[in-house]
Amino acid sequence: MSHIASKARFDFIRYAQVWEDADVLLEALKPLSGGRFVSVCSAGDNALSLLTLNPEKVVALDLSEVQTFCLDFRIAALKTLSYDQLLEIMGSVPSERRLGLYTKMRKALSPRSRTFWDLQEHILRAGVGSGGKFEKYFATFRKLLLPMLLSGYDIRQLLSPKNRKGREVFYETRFLNWRFKALMRFFFSKTVMGKLGRDPEFFAFAEGSLSDNVMQRTRHALVELDPSENPYLHWILLGRHDQTLPFWLRKENWEVIRDRLDRLHFEVCSLETFVQREEGLWDGFNLSDVFEYMPQETSDRLLSDLAAHTRSGGRLVYWNMMVPRDGSNLPHLLKPLPELSEALHAQDKAFFYSRFVVEERV
């Protein structure tokens, strides 16, 4: 993580939501329930989701203090708002009272976080989940390009439950055309996503065509998976979740997460600094896609350091988008779990990643 710190900005909300599927993450880490976990923070969704594994402790890390403010906001909202109010202030459902809800919860924020959020009225009004650069990228797609691809009726049909054959027919009749391919190649190119969505430096080590990968995974999400159950797709197409929610926002998980918030800690820190500083062994690491942003030798060095701080049988879990990274150069430390990795990747509702990696400490 520190490799990218000097190359990209971290003084604004880059991700207002976590675009990595907590369902597959938790399935990968479930055998380690009750243990100690480290998670890349991002907006905090998956760090919160780890609390459902009844952990002894979860530590969320990020290079960006602003991203930790996103997690602090969620913690304060969980402590002070009702479940329905939480959905409103996050933007998952429509609301006209978000500023009032913020007034109700703001004293539960840390002082620095409160100062930040007091200045974000436009984000609070729209729903906190809409406030990141990446979410604004999808909002641009939704407003400018989506009307060229699908009508409102088509979107409702796409998000309605269908069997696999029905999904395949819909995809072939609505998406297999030159306009879809041209717009996808343009909007989901490294250049456009780097400028509007992520950061150009995040693609410094990327291989292959980003748009081709996104198109291939889009077909998987629309045909092999059920779009009616996909919260990430709902947000991309509608700008809200309605009742199709990511793991941490589902009602059955709300009380469990809220009751275990004292086990979750967060700080502004790189993974490298954390593992060099901390003593003791950890059971599992949620590493997001951090290896995407570093050269192979740096990736191997960080994986080695992380493995050295993982107990035997513990797991490292992470995603690849465009940069193939794994622990294959460290067989004395990490054992790949390819069958589990591939099975979970096939279920991954955050469909734009090319690979899901689960490795076990030898």
How many percent of the chain have pLDDT more than 70?
Answer: 94
Burial 224-249 (b: 16+ CB within 10 A, else e): ebbbeebbbbbbbbebbbeebbbbbb
Encoded tokens for 182: 């041209």
The DSSP bridge pattern shows strands 334-336 and 355-361 to be antiparallel
Whether residue 205 is predicted with pLDDT greater than 60 in this model: the reply is: no
- Return the pLDDT at 7: 47
- Return the pLDDT at 151: 94
In the chain, what's the furthest Cα-to-Cα distance?
A: 57
> Which has the minimum average pLDDT: 5-19, 23-37, 152-166, 303-317?
5-19
Whether residue 116 is predicted with pLDDT greater than 50 in this model: the reply is: yes
- Return the pLDDT at 202: 55
Helix, strand or coil for residue 311?
Answer: strand
Q: Is pLDDT larger for residue 127 or for residue 197?
A: 127
Whether residue 257 is predicted with pLDDT greater than 80 in this model: the reply is: yes
Would you put residue 208 in left (φ > 0), alpha (ψ -120 to 50) or beta?
Answer: left
- Return the pLDDT at 183: 82
Whether residue 8 is predicted with pLDDT greater than 50 in this model: the reply is: no
> Which has the minimum average pLDDT: 155-159, 163-167, 190-194, 299-303?
190-194
**CB-based contact 261:25 (threshold 8 Å):** no
How many percent of the chain have pLDDT more than 90?
Answer: 79
> Which has the minimum average pLDDT: 68-77, 118-127, 168-177?
168-177
CATH fold of 2-129+247-361 reads Rossmann fold (3.40.50)
Domain ranges across the chain: 2-129+247-361, 133-238
Helix, strand counts (H, E) of the chain: 20, 7
Q: What pLDDT band is residue 200 in, cutting at 50, 70 and 90?
A: low
